[in-house]
Structure 1
Amino acid sequence: MASATVTAKSEPDRRRSRGSWLPGTRLGRLIIALNLLGLVILIGGALVLNELRRGLVGARIDSLTTQGELIATIIDRAATIGEPEPSMDGQYAAEILQMLSNPRSQRARLFDAEGRLIADSDWVADRVEWKTLPPARQRVDPGTFSLDLQGRGPTAPKASGEAGLAREVAKALKGDHQAGMRVGDHGARVVSVSIPIQHVQAVLGVLTLEASDVDEIIARERAALIPFALIAVSVTLISSLLLNRLIAQPVRRLARAADSVRLSRARAISLPDLAKRDDELGDLTRSLEDMTHALSERMDAIESFAADVAHEIRNPLTSIRSALETLDLVTDPAARERLTRILHQDIQRLDRLITDISNASRLDAELSRESPRPLDVGRLLSDVAGLYQETAKPGDIDVRFVPADTLEPIRVSGREGPVGQVFRNLIDNARSFSRPGGEVRVGLQASRGQAVVTIDDDGPGIPEENLETVFQRFYTSRPKGAAFGGNSGLGLSIARQITEAHGGIIRAENRTGPDGEVAGARFVVSLPQARS
């Protein structure tokens, strides 16, 4: 059974040549890029705002440190009393702190050398807050509020902010400048600096400055992050819609087209707009179209083959029926003998037809079942020719193998059974046309990466107009006097089908003698050599 040869339309070399900084295929790169774009925008915005927040907090610490060092220096110069053991005049230091007004968002507190609170900017009576005030705090007399510098927390009502302040003041009383973020009295985060007030080496107290607008800064940062988040969400949404349009919908169309082929018994899928796409879906569409077209051609070939089989089988059956109907009416022994010979010939022809039809119908399955492997063509031809020589009967045409004039074996990639069937079919055809006493010669040569096998006979040759038609199914034109029913007309067709399935070609030509007359027919089979 002949099968259609389909030329693949894929372009692997061109696709490999497409350079890109992203790995994968075209649609794969598109999916990666679109999904990463929104994430990159969001991460980029977060990093930018994070750097902005760090800069703002650092600037606020620097500002508070500069201001605190100035106030601490003034208090040291103006409120230090006692020699040789200096101390700080708490009341005067508190007045100095009250005179040095602070911004509304800042709070200043002054502690003595024992960690007792002696001044707080929130105690200033004439200060007007421009924002909503926190719950009112009662004024604490300097003598009643102190910090537990051993880490047990404040003696006033306990709060996490006071505990953090106590640790900060305790470290500052050791002479170390403290700066950073911590929790304030009301649970809000504050930027705080604690600067020791030193006279020479003696620590007279600690000045603590706090900026309570950190939460406002963070809130503004979060608000600034919203546009980035919205952009990221928008990009993700757009990319999802784009991927749905570029991938999901075309795949759905392909599925519906495949269902249409299955349900309406159509022969092929046709989606020209998708086939024009230069990506994986375009490759898939073209492959599906090629596959369905190949299946359609295969179905046409099966229908044509079935029609040819029915026609070829009908002829011997009609002849057998006519002979049987006539046999009962004929009384002449010679006529009955002729009818009997006709019956034997028709039965032989029918048997030959059924055998070759069975071989042809199994050919596709055999070709797909076995994987190609390297074959030594010289050894295979030697075995085939040796089998004919061993089974030859008196009067049979001799088969002689002429090996290649090279020491290296000539190998092809193929299936040993089908390739051997090609040579057997050609040899059988050559023997059937050879004259009595003739010879069939099988030659092998390597030429330009091809293994070239020739099968020569000593028959009458092939008419020029039939050099191609001899490979058609059931073509059985034979010279006068040839045995009737000895051929089915499928041998050469099967040989071409197998050869083309292995990437080779087969052709027929005539040999001429020195006088220019036709000396016989020659069949040439070219198969690609296997790569070493």
Structure 2
Amino acid sequence: MGLVIATTNKPTASIDDPELSLRWSARLSLTTRILAVNILAIALLAGSLFYLDNYRDELTHERLSQARLQTKIISDALDRQTPENREDLITKFATDLESRLRLYDDSGAKIVDSFDLAEPTYRFRDPEAQPWQKDVARTLDQSIEFIVLSAPITAFAEPEIDQVSAWPELELLSADQEPNSAVRYAPDRTPVIIAAAHVPSGNHRLLLTSNARDITRIVRAERSNVVLVIFLTALVSVLLSLFLARTIVRPIRKLARAAVRVRLGRAPEITVPRMPDRRDEIGQLARALADMSGALRYRIDATEAFAADVSHEIKNPLASLRSALEGLDRVDDPELRKQLLDVANDDVRRIDRLINDISEASRVDAELARTKFEKVDIGQMLDQLLAAREQRDTNESVKIAFARPGRGVATIMGDDDRLERVFSNILDNAVSFSPEDGLIEILATPDAGEVVIQISDTGPGIAEEQRQNIFKRFHSDRPAGEAFGKHSGLGLAIAKTIIEGHEGTIKSIDRPDGQKGACFEIRLPKAPAT
């Protein structure tokens, strides 16, 4: 049992774990954070809309390449035909390719146009005559092009005087140059593919144009599918987020209100809901808080009762001692004075014995507060500890190699948190003593009825005569150059106390491979088979 020496109404300073603190999201509720995380994932999915812009560019580039090849083939075919057969050949090619073909002579004048020879193979659509959905699609196209910084594409317009000088693709084309191509936008923002080639015979030039509306149709269809998927995903995500927030936030609020009632102490018996039906972390938290509040109430009651008993026990010898000391001033008889001094000395010894008994009782109370042991998989626990240290960059430049045992092979009965503190203290020491880019090796193996854990480093090692002293309280032997006061010298002492509390042993030995460095060997009783 413990003793309350004094109480104060001043608030105590809180020590917050910086790893658990929140910065920019500190004022947001848990529900808002859950929604924000899920909506962010949906926003990343929406990024696929921008990928469709690249997909459209790839389709356009492929179509331009095809157009150059087509004009090359057509120009070679025209070069082998007589002038009388050229018009028929141009008409056939234009019909088959759903394009418009124009032929210009060496002076730059147009001499053949497939649209004059047959029905046009395509017609530009008037945006004003199209439904509003097309206006929305064009606006979305322009918005995405602006966001992804697409190269601007000029609008297509038929020249008033159709000759070579009106087409940059033809005007820049030389006799020995390969066909070139370009893309422009029709009035409805569908791509117009333009390709030009040189026809050697007669120094003519060939121009191919086609309205590739299928590219826009494909991209917009895919975009509609993606938008639909994003909408449905967002709807489901929001509903699931609200459900998740409700299952988390409501019980936490209930536990918080119970914790406040416990803190205020306005009722003699305050019950914290245990939530036995929940097997998740919230249920564990509820049961832990219920156990904690019960233990707290027990300790408070025990402390109050113990303080009353101590006050009562000390009051009598103190009253006797005060009476004896006050009587010394009024008594002149030496014999009587001697009796009063004997009484005072006896009261002092009695108070001393009471204080010693109180101290012993406090130690017994601490021992009775030990945690009930449960099965602990050392391999799994070390895996989690090393992952946490790696995430926090606790190991600095030192590497840690862990030969993980099979699941259930290295299992003991113990307190997981306290054992984790033991290994964390040893690893902290190993890291501080290891050189830069050093190596720490961890080995956990079963040995008869024990689990043996060895942690070896590549530091300077521990002298033989110091291997017992390092486990003493406040013993501190730190690396050269380390600032004074960073370690209390209690880490290994605490580790030894915890290991011995688990009926195990811990000691410093030579490295098994004979190399330079320290090695800590921990032996713990193996858990009985189920």
Larger radius of gyration: 1
How high is the TM-score relative to the length of structure 1? 0.45
How high is the TM-score relative to the length of structure 2? 0.45
